[in-house]
Amino acid sequence: LGTVPKLVGEGLDIYSGRLPLAEAVARIETVYKPYHETLKRLLTRTHARFGYAVLIDCHSMPASIRVGDNGVRPDFIIGDRFGISATAALTETAIALLTGMGYTVAHNKPYAGGFITEHYGRPARHLHALQIEVNRGLYMNERTFQKSPGFDALADDLTRFSADLMAMPDHHFVDLPLAAE
């Protein structure tokens, strides 16, 4: 984990040996910095045009992930940094849409969001960020890396999910409750 990770989430080494410093610096200069410059530009442009911006940061997670005392294997984990990176309305809608499609959804555990949600999610400034972890078992064989029979159905569901999320009324993103007096 990190800007140039050495380990994957399961604690396994990514590389067989030490990554040369020049390679790490090259990745930061040619991938990391341009990516974040572009992302910031897109969010700024979207915010200027609509008065708010919503960033959905998708990740895959191992099919073996278990959550809670009963060890449920969620299909999705929605992370909003415990309410810090997005409005409750956005988070609740995302969860409701996915559960309405028959998926199991966990919230913030074990993934509450990482650098992207922490850095870009500013609901008070009408900038919202959700991290969505997708269980790899829904769409691929983790051993062979081949698509599973569920791949196309998941793609269709995620297309519908995106459209439904984009159809949320604007007031969910710009009219935040006032602080108690």
Kindly tell me if the per-residue pLDDT of 181 is higher than 60: no
Question: What is the spatial distance between Cα 55 and Cα 42, in angstroms, rounded to a whole number?
Answer: 10
Between CA 58 and CA 53 the distance in angstroms is 16
Q: Would you give the distance in Å from CA 19 to the centre of its chain?
A: 27
Among candidates 102, 112, 51, 129, which has minimal Cα distance to 78? Answer: 112
Q: How confident is the model at residue 141, as a pLDDT?
A: 95
Please report which confidence band the pLDDT of residue 178 belongs to, taking 50, 70 and 90 as the band edges: low
Write down the pTM of the prediction: 0.86
**Beta carbons within 10 angstroms of residue 59's beta carbon:** 15
Q: Is residue 173 exposed (0-12), middle (13-18) or buried (19+ Cβ within 10 Å)? A: buried
More confident residue, 170 or 30: 30
Residues 9-37: tens digit of each pLDDT: 667 778 888 888 999 899 999 999 999 99
What size, in residues, is the chain? 181
| Distance, CA of 113 to CA of 132 (rounded, Å) | 8
Note the pLDDT tens digit of each residue in 98-121: 999 999 999 999 999 999 999 999
Q: pLDDT tens, 45-98?
A: 999 999 999 999 999 998 887 777 677 789 999 999 999 999 999 999 999 999
Which two tokens mark 19? 């990554």
> Looking at residues 145-160, what average pLDDT do you find?
97
Report the C-alpha gap between 18 and 125 in whole angstroms: 41
- pLDDT tens per residue across span 122-146: 999 999 999 999 999 999 999 999 9
